[in-house]
Structure 1
Amino acid sequence: MSETLPDLIEEVISHSDLSESGVGIAAIIAQADEDEMASLLESLPIEQRLSLWQTLPDHKKLDILIAMRGDPREVLVRATEPEQWDKLFVGIEAEDLLELADSLPEELVERAYAAMDRVQRQYFTEANQYPEEQVGHWITHDYLVLPLNARVREGIRLIRREMPRHTDTIFLINRSGHFSEAVPIAKLYALPEHVPLVDVALDDFPVINATDEGQKVAKDVLFSTYGALPVVDENRKLIGRIDVTTASELSEEYYERQLMASAGMDENEDLFSPVRRSAKARAIWLGINLLTAFMASAFIGMFEATLQQVVALAVLMPVVASMGGIAGSQTLTLIIRGLALKQVTPANTMVLLRKELKVGGLNGFIWAIVIGLVAFAWFGDPLIGAVIAIAIFLNIVAAAFAGVFVPVILDKLKIDPALSGSVILTTVTDIVGFVAFLGLGTILLL
């Protein structure tokens, strides 16, 4: 479906009445999974999205809602008739409701909770004891577990009866339910049935605390070489697990959130959200940028007399700002990624700084010469070429310095570098670039 998605979007949009669109759409919908249908619905304007939603079978709707982002999901939630929810909530599990809870009004959350069996209600209640940032909120409960005194025969019997996704180990617990060991399933088939499972348990098997940060845990699971890792509470009682699918979802959500946050936006924003809502969400970010722009303008105003007498400086100012901004954003992106992957630490920050300063110095020297020669050829004044060359060099080096320290300092202050790092960096490079350029112009040209 991913290959035909653009054509399918066009076909849905072009038919005001989907019942007259022929068998094409119906056939694709019948074969598509929930992720594909979620992508299609998110790609449609509100009117067509609602029209297609009404044609979908009830047994698919809940899974599709779970696969969608928050904002486009809310549009469909509001359009669903109250009496339909009882059908949609049949068989709902705790993990499903946890995913949907932020998009559902309180009365629907209560209705879904009432539709769950006793075990799922308990899972839901326990998960809500942890905030969304902690991995305990997102654990799954489909894992293989046996008592600590179990033998190979019990392990073979268990895996023949059930095999949850990404299961390559059996967890062993003591009488109190505390996690003790993990046994690799692959070893069981070659062992006599009477051998205790604890004798073939893995050494130093990784264990996750329920209060650990979700993004950190996601990385640990993906790098662990195991299909899933056990999650324990503060008393080391086994409460669930995180498998590689859940870890991948947590990681993808984190990096999408980082990407959108760099522009001051929410990762759940609907492509076709109402104009007023989108404008309101983005207005704050524009206001922050406006304040930083006024700050840079204030420094430019200090050199008003210079600009009045040497018009060439005003023409070349955007070049200085642009080169510094680009150089800084390259370093900033590299450091933010390193912080996210826990690769940037106090131990290697100074080494990184020296490396980036060398890169900035080399690029600054090369492009200072190029831009200086272009300015000299353009305006016929070697001093103008010298002024912009020196300013370019200084600004690119300053951008490298800021690109390293701005995200590191923000991270220490518990402020997301992806959210505000680019704004601060742009302000720094603009101010340094303009002061260096106009200051040198005042000294050398007047």
Structure 2
Amino acid sequence: MTDLPQDTDNTREEISQLVERLNLATGPQQGPLFEHAIEQIEPGEIALLLESLPIDERLERWEQVTPEAQVDVLVAMRAQARAAILRTLPEPVLTQLLGRVNAESLIELVDDLPESLVDDAVSRMSQNQRHWFEQASRYSDDQIGRYLNHDLVLLPPKIRAENALRALQRATEPFSDHAYMVDGQGRYLGMVSMKQLIALPPSQRLGDTTGSEIAPLQTASNLVDATEAVEHSGLAALPVVDEEGHLQGRITLQLALELTREAYESRLMATVGLDEETDLFSPVLQSSQRRAVWLGINLLTALLASWVIGQFEATLVQVVALAVLMPIVASMGGIAGSQTLTLVIRGLAMGQLSQGNLRALLAKELGVGLLNGLLWAGVIGAVAGLWFSDLATGLVMAVAIAINITVAALAGVAIPVILDRRKMDPALSGSVVLTTVTDVVGFFTFLGLGSLVLVS
């Protein structure tokens, strides 16, 4: 997972400036400029900087990243950008690189590495690291058990408060303000904060305290649910246990925020058929192949809309005004439906929408669609009537707009809900389906009414 600094806006500005200076620099000047830059920035920022460079330049600058930082930089990069570097590294170099990898980093890299190199890296790990990697491998990409942090302070329930406080204070790398109590079998018993330890009598045993009442998360928990739990807890981290109650690690607030950002980026990219791991400078052939599928899908939907228009060819020949006004009908329906679609997809992603409140939301959105439909039907109908000096044309336009906006609101609710129930990502295909519905309904209504009212 990407290790980004907290001030993301400043980071983007700094990276943008560095990229501009690198692109303006001549060949011999680029190396020293990049070397000076990476001495002052973190691995996450180095990853962003490398991703911002064309592949040839990226590979040249990769050679300047210090061996100690290379693993962290690779982990922080998007999958496609990382793969572009890994493909160029000889096996001996990869073997040496993976000799410095821990369980958490290897889990991020495993999909981009040959199985033999992964097995070799695991065999050279310590027993704990090997155990953590094997545990993480049991979980899928959308389960929190795959991404646990294992840097935590474990304490037995019999330890005295003064010794527990001393142990927590010594854990400065990374700093933690909570310790986790486990029994002899590693089962989670509770968590205690530094503030609580300071307030306890020095000789009191931890097992005699109530500790924190925060419930642990389950390793099989969905990423979205787990990250929301951390964000709402008010704590820097939450413990995570397996189905038998054994403490497996923790999920930190930093990781939760990062996962939330990645989920947002993923949904944003999915609306146009791409994914969050897409490399900005991926090869032309690879990029065209990915986008060709989406273009093909859109072509099919456009052909369907064109077929509907073709059924009213005679009407369009007689009433040219209909051809001029058609794009307005489709555009208004598309925008209205997209507003509802976006709202519903967000509700599904955040767990706010369920069977219990679906009917209420549908009624509300239909009300909004009907109100806006009538409002803009009047405005556009009047404009169309005045434009073509024909009251009947304005009336046809008004009715078509009202119907299409209302149908768009219904589709904006129904489409993502149906896709979600069929285990399909509504962010990926919802907009295409919605556009097809609003175009087909809009054209059919508008041209059908035109045939009935305007054609003699």
TM-score range, shorter chain: over 0.9
| Partner residue, 1:212 | 221
Cα displacement (A) at 1:249: 2.1
Tell me how far apart the structure 2 counterparts of residues 425 and 164 of structure 1 sit (CA, whole Å).
51
- Say if 1:229 and 1:243, in contact at 8 Å, map to a contact too: yes
Equivalent residue letter for 2:74: L
CA contact (8 A) 1:221 1:244 kept: yes
Residue 7 (structure 2) aligns with: none
| 1:194 and 2:166 matched | no
Shift in Å at residue 413 of structure 1?
1.4
Distance (Å, rounded) in 1 between the aligned partners of 2:443 and 2:333: 10
Indicate the residue corresponding to 1:6 in structure 2.
16
Matching residue of 2:339: 330
* Kept in 2: contact 1:181–1:198 (CA 8 A): no
Q: 2: CA distance between counterparts of 1:278 and 1:20?
A: 31
After superposition, residues 332-351 of structure 1 pair within 5 angstroms as 332-351=341-360
Q: 1:311 aligns with which of 320, 323, 335?
A: 320
Select 2:51's aligned residue among 19, 42, 55. 42
Q: Distance in 1 between matches of 2:103 and 2:130?
A: 7
1:298-317: CA deviations, max 9, x gaps? 22222222112111111111
Which whole-Å CA distance do the structure 2 matches of 1:8 and 1:146 have between them? 46
Amino acid in the other structure paired with 1:158: A
For the pair 1:380 / 2:389, whether they are aligned, the reply is yes
Aligned residues of 2:218 and 2:242 also touching (Cα < 8 A): yes
Q: Answer yes or no: is 1:321 the counterpart of 2:336.
A: no
Would the aligned equivalents of 2:22 and 2:33 in 1 still touch at CA under 8 Å? no
How has the CA–CA distance of structure 1 residues 202 and 118 changed in structure 2, closer, same or farther, with 3 Å as cutoff? closer
1:61 aligns with 2:89: no
Are positions 1:421 and 2:438 aligned together? no
Distance 2:175 2:436 in 1: 47
Distance apart, 1:197 and its partner CA: 2.0
Aligned-partner Cα distance in 2 for 1:257–1:184? 35
Quick one: distance in 2 between partners of 1:22 and 1:321?
Answer: 53
Instruction: Answer with 47-56 or 424-433: which moved more.
Output: 47-56
Q: What one-letter code is carried by the residue in structure 2 that aligns with 1:287?
A: G
- Cα–Cα, structure 1 residues 63 and 235, in superposed 2: closer, same or farther, change >3 Å? same
1: CA distance, partners of 2:430 / 2:30: 48
- C-alpha change, 1:202 and 1:317, in structure 2 (3 Å) is farther
Task: Assess if the C-alpha contact under 8 Å between 2:308 and 2:443 holds in 1.
Answer: yes
Residue 356 in 1 paired to residue 356 in 2? no
Report % sequence identity.
47
Do structure 1's residue 77 and structure 2's residue 86 form an aligned pair?
Answer: yes
- Tell me, in whole angstroms, the C-alpha distance in 2 between the residues paired with 1:388 and 1:318: 11
Alignment partner of 1:404 out of 382, 402, 413: 413
> CA 1:325 to 1:202, structure 2 compared with 1: closer, same or farther past 3 Å?
farther
Q: Residue 21 and residue 338 in structure 1: after superposition, are their counterparts in 2 closer, same or farther (change >3 A)?
A: same
Q: 2:112 is matched by which residue type in structure 1? A: S
Output one character per residue of 1:227-268: Cα deviation in whole Å (capped at 9) or x when no partner.
211111121111111111222222222221111111111211
2:160 matched to which residue of 1? Answer: 151
Tell me the distance in 2 between the aligned counterparts of 1:203 and 1:76.
45
- Give, in angstroms, the shift of residue 202 of structure 1: 4.2
Q: Counterpart of 1:167 in 2: which secondary structure?
A: coil
Return closer, same or farther for 1:245/1:6 CA change in 2, 3 Å cut-off: closer
Structure 2 equivalent of residue 274 of structure 1? 283
Instruction: Output the CA distance in 2 between the equivalents of 1:355 and 1:166.
Output: 48
Aligned residue for 2:5? none
For the residues of structure 2 that align with 1:253 and 1:172, how far apart are their CA atoms?
A: 32
Deviation of 1:284 after TM superposition, in Å, equals: 1.5
**Equivalent residue, structure 1, for 2:376:** 367
Does the CA-based 8 Å contact 2:168-2:178 persist in structure 1? no
Q: Distance in 2 between matches of 1:185 and 1:444?
A: 78
SS in 2 for 1:231: strand
Normalised TM-score (structure 1): 0.95
Give the Cα–Cα distance (whole angstroms) in 1 for the partners of residues 97 and 344 of structure 2: 45
Match of 1:140, SS state, is: coil
Give yes or no for contact 2:31–2:61 (8 Å, CA) kept in 1.
Answer: no
Say if 1:166 and 1:228, in contact at 8 Å, map to a contact too. Answer: no
Q: d(CA) in 2 for partners of 1:431 and 1:64?
A: 48
- Quote how far apart the aligned CAs of 1:297 are: 2.2
Give the C-alpha shift of residue 331 in structure 1. Answer: 0.7
How many residue pairs match? The answer is 445
Matching residue's letter, 1:432 = V
Measure how far apart 1:107 and its partner are: 3.3
Q: 1:143·1:240 contact (CA, 8 Å) conserved in 2?
A: yes
Tell me if structure 2 keeps the 8 A contact 1:91–1:115.
no
Asked if the contact 2:168/2:177 (under 8 Å) is kept, the reply is no
Which runs of no fewer than 5 residues in structure 2 stay unpaired? 1-10
1:58 touches 1:87 (CA, 8 Å); kept in 2?
A: no
* CA spacing shift, 1:418–1:166, aligned 2, 3 Å: farther
The Cα of 1:64 is off from its aligned counterpart by 0.9
- Structure 1 regions of 5+ residues with no counterpart? none
User: What is the TM-score of this pair, normalised by structure 2?
Assistant: 0.93
Q: SS of the counterpart of 2:13?
A: coil
Paired position in structure 1 for 2:3: none
For residues 21 and 41 of structure 1, the distance between their equivalents in structure 2, rounded to whole angstroms, comes to 13
> Considering only aligned residues, what root-mean-square deviation do their CA atoms show, in Å?
1.9
Structure 2 partner of 1:125: 134
The structure-2 alpha-carbon separation of the partners of 1:166 and 1:353, relative to structure 1 and needing over 3 Å to count, comes to: farther
Matched, 1:289 2:298: yes
The structural deviation recorded for 1:111 is: 3.5
Find the aligned partners of 2:175 and 2:358 in 1 and give their Cα distance.
37
Amino acid corresponding to residue 188 of structure 1 in structure 2: L
Structure 1 164/219 Cα, relative in aligned 2: closer, same or farther at 3 Å?
Answer: farther
The answer as to 2:234 corresponding to 1:225 is yes
**Is the contact made by 1:402 and 1:425 (CA closer than 8 Å) also made in structure 2?**
yes
Shifted more, 379-388 versus 196-205: the winner is 196-205
